[in-house]
């Protein structure tokens, strides 16, 4: 039986807290990329050009059905083969941002499709351009129904950041691996990482639900 040592836990906590910062930063930056790129991918499937719709649709399907960890490796290792060197952070953010952009594009698509047809017709009747229609009429109404899905993927991206450890991003699991092999103790670092994940993702999920409810009430839904 292996004994749990509290003084070892206190000794490694500063490093784990620093790594938590990196994890949150990676999740935040990846999500920011995904939110913007996801919208582009959603709108890309609504152009009048069938070829564009087809290509974007297949691309989203491809990214969604292949493992994120493989995509991370792909971005990190393939660049140098063509003379583009990306830092682990850069390639990690590209891979995770793109992966979640594809998920978010589906959420946006659902939101946009849920806007009543009359809204489009009314916007056309008011002689709005396509850009105006989206920006002023459609997107504001598409966001509230998409909020729940968007929130789930925010928590999802946070839980997927450990995959960045494979290319050397110093997030929680990477740090726990390092602590474990330096001290030959894996119990405390891995357990603490699990607890830190729980301590962040459970309240985050609750907060997101709260926020979603408030937005819905404010918009009178």
Partner 1 sequence: MSLIDFVAQFWPRLLSGAGVTVAQFLLAAVLGVAISLFMGLMKLSTNPLLKGAAVTYIEIFRGTSLVVQLYWIFFVLPLFGITIEKFTAGYIAVGMNIGAYGAELVRGGILSVPKGQWEASLAINMSPAQRMRRIILPQALVNMLPPWGNLMIELLKGTALVSLISVADLMFQARQINATTFLSAQVFGAALIIYYILARFFVTPLMRWLERTMSRKMGKV
Per CB under 8 A, residues contacting partner 1 are 1-2, 61-62, 64-71, 73-74, 77-78, 80-82, 159-163, 165-166, 173, 176, 180, 186-187, 190-191, 193-194, 197-198, 201-202, 205
Q: Which residue has the tokens 């946006």?
A: 108
Report the residue number, 67 or 140, with the smaller CB distance to partner 1: 67
In angstroms, how far is the first alpha carbon of the chain from the final one?
A: 56
Q: How far apart are CB 74 and partner 1 at their closest, in Å?
A: 4
Q: Which residues contact 162 (CB under 8 A, 6 or more apart)?
A: 23, 171, 172, 173
Shorter beta-carbon distance to partner 1: residue 42 or 123:
42
What's the min distance (Å) between Cβ of 189 and partner 1?
A: 9
Cβ distance to partner 1 smaller for residue 93 or 123: 93
Residue 143 or 187: the one with the smaller Cβ distance to partner 1 is: 187
The CB-of-30 to partner 1 minimum distance in angstroms stands at 14
Place of tokens 């050397």: 168
Note the Cα 152 to chain centre separation in Å: 9
d(CA 50, CA 73): 32
- Please identify, using beta-carbon distances, which residue of 52 and 70 lies nearer to partner 1: 70
Query: What is the nearest approach in angstroms of partner 1 to the Cβ of residue 48?
Result: 27
Give the integer Cα–Cα distance in Å for 87 and 168.
Answer: 9
Token readout for 122 is 């009314």
Half-sphere exposure of 31 (CA within 13 A, CB side): 19
Q: How far is the CB of 36 from partner 1 (least distance, A)?
A: 24
């Amino acid at each position: 039986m292996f004994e749990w040592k509290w003084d070892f836990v206190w000794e490694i906590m500063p490093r784990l807290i620093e790594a938590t910062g990196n994890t949150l930063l990676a999740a935040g930056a990846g999500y920011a990329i995904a939110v913007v790129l996801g919208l582009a991918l959603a709108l890309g499937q609504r152009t009048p050009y069938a070829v564009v719709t087809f290509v974007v649709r297949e691309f989203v399907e491809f990214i969604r059905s292949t493992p994120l960890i493989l995509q991370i490796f792909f971005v990190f290792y393939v660049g140098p083969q063509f003379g583009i060197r990306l830092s682990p952070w850069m390639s990690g953010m590209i891979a995770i941002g793109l992966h979640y952009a594809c998920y978010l594009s589906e959420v946006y698509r659902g939101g946009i499709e849920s806007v009543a047809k009359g809204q489009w017709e009314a916007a056309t009747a008011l002689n709005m351009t396509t850009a105006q229609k989206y920006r002023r009429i459609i997107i504001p109404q598409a966001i509230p129904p998409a909020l729940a899905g968007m929130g789930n993927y925010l928590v999802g991206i946070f839980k997927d950041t450990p995959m960045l450890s494979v290319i050397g991003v110093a997030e929680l699991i990477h740090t726990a691996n390092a602590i474990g092999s330096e001290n030959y103790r894996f119990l405390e670092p891995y357990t603490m990482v699990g607890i830190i994940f729980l301590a962040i993702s459970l309240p985050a999920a609750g907060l997101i639900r709260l926020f979603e409810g408030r937005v819905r009430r404010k918009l009178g839904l």
